[in-house]
């Protein structure tokens, strides 16, 4: 039994580290994800090598559960009521921002000299925003006009589109790698994409029926845990994408469960403990020398991401016939980027080990920069709209 003492003590310490990171991040206005990754780098092999192997061995399981929970929560943004409420501007602009951002970053970094596979993955990472930071800036501004309402709708579903784009990018790269195999790439694509959606529906539909039949509290939390673990496990067993399956589960539940807000609140409550361990172990697995690999590519990524989001917002706004005074502001207002991008990067690094260090280094460095500077840009955009009368 004493063999269990060390990993249990370490896990307990990590949870308190997560609590401290949350408090310090709020005080210093730093992303807590960056603090956790930095702590992991400090106690990992690149630092003082303090983590026991029993904890490091938990990484694959913790990563799968954490990312599945994130996917379920992002799927909750795809409610029909939300899409109807915010209208065609939100749908068209959000899709335009995601597609143009991925295209500009991918082509730009490929031209910069990065391999195509790496450029595709980093382009997909660039689509992920930070809804929490954007919401917080909007609330702090105390603005409530047409622009802020549309902006809230945009960031509510932008993460979901970004995750879908990322999942499809990984699927495309897997098909490119297996193109010489005996199985048709089209069959593989149909199986993984269609199968993942089908699995999500088959889990989400019964889940929507069951959720809300119990009182608020422990039974609902058990339902949430069951949905996440079942989705993750069956996806791995069947060779499907737990990201797409989890997002489908969230979308089905939000559209068919009467008490879905309580269900997603419970998922969110147990998601963070998994994310604490996930990000610390991710930082511990990072080679400190890999941070040097970002270099000029990181600066190029930042520039191309800004250009992609600004032009994507303008193109989408024009296509959706949004107010002309807003079209050039949508993308700039959604520059903040947070932990979802790093989670995507870690999932991509696992699938593309040859580029793992570059992907992780780019994600950590650039996400921290956008998390710090993005909210300032959002606040500036809102200040430009403070006196505007938009409907």
What CATH number has the domain bearing residue 20?
1.20.1530.20
pLDDT digits (tens, 9 = 90+) for 18-47: 889 888 877 776 667 778 878 888 888 777
Residue 339 included in any domain: yes
pLDDT digits (tens, 9 = 90+) for 193-228: 789 899 999 999 988 887 766 555 555 778 888 999
Chain segment 360-390, per-residue pLDDT in tens: 888 877 877 787 678 788 888 888 776 555 5
Say how many C-beta atoms besides its own lie within 10 A of residue 373's C-beta. 15
Domain range enclosing 156: 2-385
Question: Which one, of 350, 341, 322, 344, lies nearest residue 243 by Cα?
Answer: 344
Residue 391 lies in a domain: no
Q: Which residue has the higher pLDDT, 292 or 345?
A: 345
* Position 294 pLDDT exceeds 80: no
Task: Give the gyration radius of the chain's Cα atoms.
Answer: 21
In total, how many domains does the chain have? 1
Q: What are the pLDDT digits (tens) for 300-340?
A: 998 999 999 999 999 999 998 888 888 889 999 888 886 67
Does residue 66 belong to any structural domain of this protein?
Answer: yes
pLDDT band at 188 (very low <50, low <70, confident <90, very high): low
Report in angstroms the alpha-carbon separations of 266 from 72, 191, 215, 218.
12, 31, 12, 9
Please state, for a pLDDT cut of 70, what percent of the chain lies above it. 85
Is residue 390 a part of any domain in this protein?
A: no
Burial per residue of 293-329, b for 16 or more beta-carbon CB atoms within 10 angstroms, e otherwise: bbeebbebbbebbbbbbbbbbbbbbeebebbeebbbb
């Amino acid at each position: 039994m004493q063999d269990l003492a060390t990993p249990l003590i370490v896990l307990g310490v990590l949870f308190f580290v997560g609590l401290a990171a949350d408090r310090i991040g709020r005080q210093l206005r730093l992303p807590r994800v960056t603090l956790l990754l930095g702590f992991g780098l400090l106690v990992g092999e690149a630092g003082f090598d303090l983590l026991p192997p029993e904890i490091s061995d938990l990484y694959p399981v913790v990563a799968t559960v954490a990312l599945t929970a994130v996917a379920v929560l992002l799927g909750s943004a795809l409610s029909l009521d939300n899409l109807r409420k915010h209208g065609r501007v939100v749908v068209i602009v959000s899709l335009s921002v995601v597609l143009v951002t991925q295209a500009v970053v991918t082509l730009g970094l490929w031209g910069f000299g990065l391999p195509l596979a790496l450029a595709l993955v980093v382009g997909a990472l660039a689509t992920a925003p930070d809804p929490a930071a954007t919401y917080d800036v909007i609330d702090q501004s105390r603005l409530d006009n047409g622009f802020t309402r549309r902006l809230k709708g945009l960031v509510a579903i932008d993460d979901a589109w970004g995750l879908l784009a990322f999942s499809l990018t990984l699927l495309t790269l897997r098909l490119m790698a297996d193109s010489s195999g005996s199985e048709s790439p089209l069959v593989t694509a149909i199986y993984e994409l269609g199968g993942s959606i089908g699995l999500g529906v088959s889990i989400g539909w019964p889940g929507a029926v069951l959720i809300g039949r119990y009182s608020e509290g422990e039974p609902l939390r058990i339902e949430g845990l069951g949905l996440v673990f079942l989705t993750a496990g069956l996806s791995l067993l069947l060779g499907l994408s737990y990201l797409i399956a989890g997002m489908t589960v969230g979308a089905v539940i939000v559209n068919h469960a009467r008490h879905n807000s309580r269900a997603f609140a419970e998922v969110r409550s147990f998601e963070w403990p998994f994310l604490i361990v996930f990000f610390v172990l991710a930082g511990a697995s990072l080679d400190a020398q890999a941070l040097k690999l970002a270099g000029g590519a990181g600066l190029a990524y930042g520039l191309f991401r800004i250009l992609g989001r600004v032009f994507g917002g303008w193109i989408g706004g024009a296509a959706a016939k949004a107010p002309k005074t807003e079209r050039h502001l949508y993308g700039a207002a959604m520059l903040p980027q947070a932990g979802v991008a790093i989670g995507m990067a870690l999932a991509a690094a696992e699938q593309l080990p040859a580029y793992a260090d570059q992907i992780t280094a780019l994600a950590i460095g650039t996400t921290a920069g956008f998390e710090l500077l993005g909210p300032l840009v959002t606040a500036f955009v809102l200040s430009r709209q403070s006196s505007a009368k938009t409907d």
